[in-house]
């Protein structure tokens, strides 16, 4: 599997479609829309493929990514990209064959397809991934599609009154990218500090006062970046507050392996939820041996931070239902150069929440921040988990062997700046350099700065560990780093969990909670009892 497609909630059922190759365990030319459903976003039933390539003129070379939209009268629509026999890309519509089928198993492609064609300078090979549509107060539907037009990448706006006949807006671009990177899977949605602010089903005047987020997946570096800004529906203008890849400190949904994400508004729980594709870091040959490749991240809620400067993501509450045995301790001093085992949970499948605090007066002695350290990922590479410091590295070692020869470290460092407005910089890293004793798997180190003042608040970390996937949420969800790792020996019972501090200064664990996690349930076809 690769990209999540058209997630939605409809009449009590969650639907997740995703890019899936029925011919083999790696991406292939006749990629389809697979379909799974869930009642709780945890346990899933895999249904038959919803959209397959069928037509040489429309989509024979793949039903590529797209979105779902809720239409009036409980109707639904999929907009997706189809590639024809020449690999030219078009946008197509599909609707449920039977709206009374609670699982919406069958979808019908519109006889009007294609609805959007690559004309007027649009590169036919680079025109894809329609967003969820939104309807303005004027009753007109709008959708954005990423495209390369006369050599420049743009988010194009298309409008329609009936959802079937679409015209490209006169505007040169809804958004014009200032780099030459291939743009995929644009997501555009309202955000606020409450989950319900993320409702994009029917935009109302209040929402236009709010901020909007535009998320873009840059193919070249496989990054899901976003900007925040103001959207004026009367003139269909999105004014972003920052630029993508602005001075290397861009806003990203995740600073690790997380790509082609797609969000949806869950009207039942009044929240916006996002999924991302966690791709492999080994080779196709491994995928063939394993029989599969690629997975979806844990679903995460997404809101605007109170500061309004960034998005906050957090694993959906439902995940807590999988929690089993718990270990808890409070006020534990982690002296300099110490490693503390956290026993009593299944370390290979666990949910860990920890908060660290410090003597604020002592922070004065933190290492000075060099103004040239603008790239946090580079800094995490230079100062990896084994490089000792003053305040940090401290954090967790997960999927670790008892001699630590195999381990993944998620950790923080605190630096002191000479800037009055931001006295300290907190670096968050996920170090995969020793995550596997196997050769040939990607062992990158990821990193980001946390928008957090350590004098004012504790530094928290939540890490979800699932055998070979490590999803970490720093600073209450301000920064996320997902790692796909391939431990060779630190598996199942040989896997350990540790807290550590390799700084010279002590840090205090104010509280740590770790839980063993139960398995989610999967069914690969629908049994009678589910009807």
Catalytic residue among 3, 59, 197, 351: 3
- Helix or strand or coil: residue 145? strand
Residue 64 interacting with ligand DQQ (CB under 6 A): yes
- Closest contact distance (angstroms) between CB of 455 and ligand DQQ is 41
- Closest contact distance (angstroms) between CB of 185 and ligand DQQ is 6
The closest alpha carbon to 95, from 123, 117, 71, 126, belongs to: 71
* Tokens of residue 349, six digits: 């499948």
Q: Give whole-number Cα distances, 212 to 137, 246, 266, in Å.
A: 16, 18, 17
Scan residues 441-500 and list those touching ligand DQQ (CB under 6 A): none
For this structure, is 282 an active site residue?
no
503 has which bridge partners?
389
User: For the chain, percent helix, then strand, then coil, each to nearest 5?
Assistant: 10, 45, 45
> Quick check: 1 and 294 in contact, CB under 8 A?
yes
- Residue number with CB closer to ligand DQQ (2 or 346): 2
> Quick check: 301 and 195 in contact, CB under 8 A?
yes
- Residue number with CB closer to ligand DQQ (260 or 342): 260
- The residue within the footprint of ligand DQQ, chosen from 1, 31, 47, 485 (CB under 6 A), is 31
Query: Cα separation of 126 and 90, whole Å?
Result: 10
* Tokens of residue 494, six digits: 């040989």
Residue 52 interacting with ligand DQQ (CB under 6 A): no
- The residue within the footprint of ligand DQQ, chosen from 36, 38, 52, 65 (CB under 6 A), is 65
Binding characters for ligand DQQ, 176-215, by CB under 6 A (x = yes): --------xx------------------------------
- Helix or strand or coil: residue 298? coil
Scan residues 320-339 and list those touching ligand DQQ (CB under 6 A): none
- Residue number with CB closer to ligand DQQ (260 or 354): 260
Scan residues 231-260 and list those touching ligand DQQ (CB under 6 A): 260
- Closest contact distance (angstroms) between CB of 377 and ligand DQQ is 21
- The residue within the footprint of ligand DQQ, chosen from 52, 81, 472, 501 (CB under 6 A), is 81
- Residues 6 or more apart whose CB falls under 8 angstroms from that of 143 comprise 79, 130, 131, 132, 133, 134, 157, 158, 160, 166
- Closest residue to bound ligand DQQ by CB: 64
- Closest contact distance (angstroms) between CB of 153 and ligand DQQ is 12
If DSSP states are collapsed to H, E and C, what string results for 424-460? EEEEEEEECCCCCCCCCCCCCEEEEEECCCCCCCCEE
Binding characters for ligand DQQ, 89-118, by CB under 6 A (x = yes): ------------------------------
- Closest contact distance (angstroms) between CB of 27 and ligand DQQ is 6
- Residues 6 or more apart whose CB falls under 8 angstroms from that of 326 comprise 345, 513, 514, 515, 516
> Quick check: 468 and 397 in contact, CB under 8 A?
no
Scan residues 117-176 and list those touching ligand DQQ (CB under 6 A): 128-129
- The residue within the footprint of ligand DQQ, chosen from 19, 131, 207, 261 (CB under 6 A), is 19
Query: DSSP E strands: which ranges in 233-370?
Result: 237-240, 251-252, 259-266, 271-278, 295-296, 300-304, 311-315, 323-334, 338-341, 349-357, 367-368
- Helix or strand or coil: residue 101? coil
- Closest contact distance (angstroms) between CB of 260 and ligand DQQ is 4
- Closest contact distance (angstroms) between CB of 96 and ligand DQQ is 21
- Residue number with CB closer to ligand DQQ (2 or 207): 2
Q: Which residues are catalytic?
A: 3
**Could you list the residues that contact ligand DQQ (CB under 6 A)?**
2-3, 19, 31, 64-65, 81, 128-129, 184-185, 260
């Amino acid at each position: 599997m690769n990209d999540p497609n058209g997630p939605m909630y409809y009449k009590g059922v969650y639907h997740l479609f995703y890019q899936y190759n029925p011919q083999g365990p790696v991406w292939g030319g006749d990629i389809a829309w697979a379909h799974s459903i869930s009642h709780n976003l945890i346990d899933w039933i895999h249904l038959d493929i919803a959209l397959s390539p069928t037509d040489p003129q429309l989509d024979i070379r793949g039903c590529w990514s797209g979105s779902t939209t809720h239409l009036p009268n409980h109707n639904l629509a999929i907009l997706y990209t189809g590639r024809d026999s020449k690999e030219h890309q078009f946008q197509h519509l599909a609707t449920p064959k039977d709206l009374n089928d609670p699982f919406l198993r069958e979808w019908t492609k519109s006889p009007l397809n294609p609805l959007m064609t690559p004309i007027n300078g649009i590169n036919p090979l680079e025109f894809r991934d329609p967003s969820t549509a939104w309807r303005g107060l004027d009753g007109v539907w709008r959708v954005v599609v990423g495209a390369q037009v006369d050599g420049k990448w743009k988010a194009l706006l298309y409008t329609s009154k009936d959802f079937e006949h679409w015209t490209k807006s006169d505007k040169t671009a809804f958004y014009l990218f200032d780099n030459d990177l291939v743009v995929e899977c644009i997501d555009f949605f309202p955000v606020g500090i409450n989950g319900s602010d993320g409702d994009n089903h029917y935009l109302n005047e209040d929402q236009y006062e709010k901020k909007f987020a535009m998320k873009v997946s840059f193919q070249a570096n496989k990054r899901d970046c976003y900007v925040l800004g103001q959207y004026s529906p009367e003139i269909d203008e999105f004014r972003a507050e920052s630029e993508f890849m602005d001075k290397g400190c861009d806003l990203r949904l995740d600073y690790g392996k997380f790509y082609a994400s797609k969000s949806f508004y869950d009207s039942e729980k009044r929240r916006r939820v996002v999924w991302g594709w966690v791709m492999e870091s080994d080779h196709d040959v491994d995928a063939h041996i394993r029989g599969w490749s690629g997975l979806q991240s844990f679903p995460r809620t997404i809101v605007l931070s109170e500061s309004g400067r960034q998005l906050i993501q957090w694993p959906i509450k439902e995940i807590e239902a999988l929690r089993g045995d718990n270990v808890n301790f409070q006020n534990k001093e982690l002296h300099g150069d110490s490693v503390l085992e956290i026993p009593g949970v299944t370390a290979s499948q666990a949910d860990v929440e920890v908060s660290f605090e410090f003597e604020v007066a002592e922070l004065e002695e933190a290492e000075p921040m060099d103004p040239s350290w603008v790239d946090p990922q580079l800094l995490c590479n230079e100062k990896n988990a084994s490089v000792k410091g003053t305040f940090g590295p401290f954090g967790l070692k997960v999927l670790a062997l008892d001699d630590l020869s195999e381990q993944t470290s998620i950790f923080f460092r605190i630096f002191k700046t000479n800037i009055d407005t931001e006295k300290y910089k907190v670096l968050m890293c996920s170090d995969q350099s020793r995550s596997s004793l196997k050769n040939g798997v990607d062992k990158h180190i990821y990193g980001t700065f946390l928008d957090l003042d350590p004098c004012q608040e504790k530094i928290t970390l939540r890490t979800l560990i699932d055998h070979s996937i490590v999803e970490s949420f720093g600073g209450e969800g301000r920064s996320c780093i997902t790692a796909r790792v391939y431990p060779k020996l630190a598996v199942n019972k040989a896997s350990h969990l540790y807290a550590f501090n390799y700084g010279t200064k002590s840090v205090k664990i104010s509280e740590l909670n770790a839980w063993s996690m139960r398995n989610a349930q999967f069914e690969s076809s629908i049994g009678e009892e589910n009807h």
